[in-house]
Amino acid sequence: MTHNICQLVLTTLPDSAAAQRLAEALVRDGLASCINILPSMQSIYHWKGRMETAQEHLVVIKCSASRYHDIQERILSLHPYELPEIIAVPIADGLPAYLAWLQNPELTP
């Protein structure tokens, strides 16, 4: 069964405080049902002609796909990076009750 009406939106932030602020804003504003903040990880990437290394926190935003554009705008408004990572990954399948909750967290089963 395919449920591409839900998705994961991924972004990285430079510290846990920035990740916490973003997560709280998205949940408080009803844009995301659940957000996981993963502990510090090392990122290696090219930026402006140089190889860079940074400690970052991965933020996994679980939401209805219909909220993507509002989530993207909110991330851009709060994100400290010049070019933040914002990637949406469709959820192909999952527990039906959980996916229903992702679409409408106010209607907790």
Q: Bridge-partner residues for 41, per DSSP?
A: 56
Residue 1 lies in a domain: no
Stretches in the chain below the pLDDT threshold 50: 1-3
85 found inside a domain: yes
For the chain, the farthest-separated pair of C-alpha atoms sits apart, in whole angstroms, at 50
CA-closest candidate to residue 68, choices 2, 9, 1, 3: 9
Q: How far apart are CA 94 and CA 83, in angstroms?
A: 31
Which structural domain range is residue 96 located in? 6-103
pLDDT tens digit sequence for 59-88: 999 999 999 999 999 999 999 999 999 999
Supply the CATH number for residue 60's domain.
3.30.70.120
Share of the chain above pLDDT 90, in %: 88
Mean pLDDT (the chain) is: 93
* Count of structural domains, the chain: 1
**80 domain-assigned:** yes
* Domain annotation covers residue 108: no
